[in-house]
Chains A and B, each alone.
Chain A
């Protein structure tokens, strides 16, 4: 079966500290992978997507970066966090078909 793992669930980080959020997918190969951010009470905004290893597309200018070192691994990073980076981060994937998108359980990031 296909599953998606995302961790950590919650994170409190000081301003200026680095960030690394990881997402891994099981049970599929060559998925499209996505990072979304959700501000409190708002919809989901697409940050990055990847169609293959090493292929990253950025949707909005920001303080974050993404990497895909392996087919089923997607990492969201920052060298120095800003207060505005606080939010709920969700990883998602879709396979080669069009049978729906699967989301991870999310990481709630608070920058203090």
Chain B
């Protein structure tokens, strides 16, 4: 079984500053993927970034980067140069590779508010 822990229910950041959203995970699987999703007030789930457990380099997608520390089982999301439009709920999730189920397990989320 997999478990995702997000310990920050809410975060504030000033516009144009960087922010780190924490995520730790627990799994007995050897191969897995880690994901971050953004959920604005409309409810849609927007995929941000993906990291495979065997990827040696941290994933980056534009202003998003994933700080992957496998030994510590952490997969923190870093958002650089925050924008007002970044205000939303952010979810960390994971899925094992080598099972037919391949379902995502989500954390409880972090609400990010970007202040002008």
Q: A98-B33, A98-B97, A100-B50 are in contact. Are A46 and B105 (CB under 8 A)?
A: yes
B25 proximal to A (CB < 8 A): no
Q: Once bound together, how far apart are the Cα atoms of A88 and B89, in whole Å?
A: 14
Q: How far is the CA of A34 from the CA of B102 in the complex (A)?
A: 10
Q: Is A67's CB within 8 Å of the partner chain B?
A: no
Query: Does B106 make an interface contact (CB < 8 A)?
Result: yes
Q: Which residue of A lies closest to B104 (CB)?
A: A101
B33 CB, nearest partner CB in chain A, Å: 6
- From residue 69 to 112 of chain A, which have CB atoms closer than 8 A to chain B? 88, 90, 92, 94, 98, 100-103, 105-106, 108
Say yes or no: is A32 at the interface (Cβ < 8 Å to chain B).
yes
Contacting B at CB under 8 A, from A33-61, are 34, 42-46, 49, 51, 57, 59
Q: Which residues of B contact A44 (CB under 8 A)?
A: 45, 91, 93, 104, 106
Enumerate B68-116 residues with CB–CB distance to A below 8 Å. 91, 93, 95, 97, 100-109
Given contacts A43-B109, A49-B101, 10 further A-B contacts (CB under 8 A): A32-B102, A32-B103, A43-B107, A43-B108, A44-B104, A46-B104, A59-B103, A92-B104, A105-B44, A108-B43
Residue ranges of B at the interface with A (Cβ–Cβ < 8 Å): 33, 35, 42-45, 47, 50, 52, 91, 93, 95, 97, 100-109
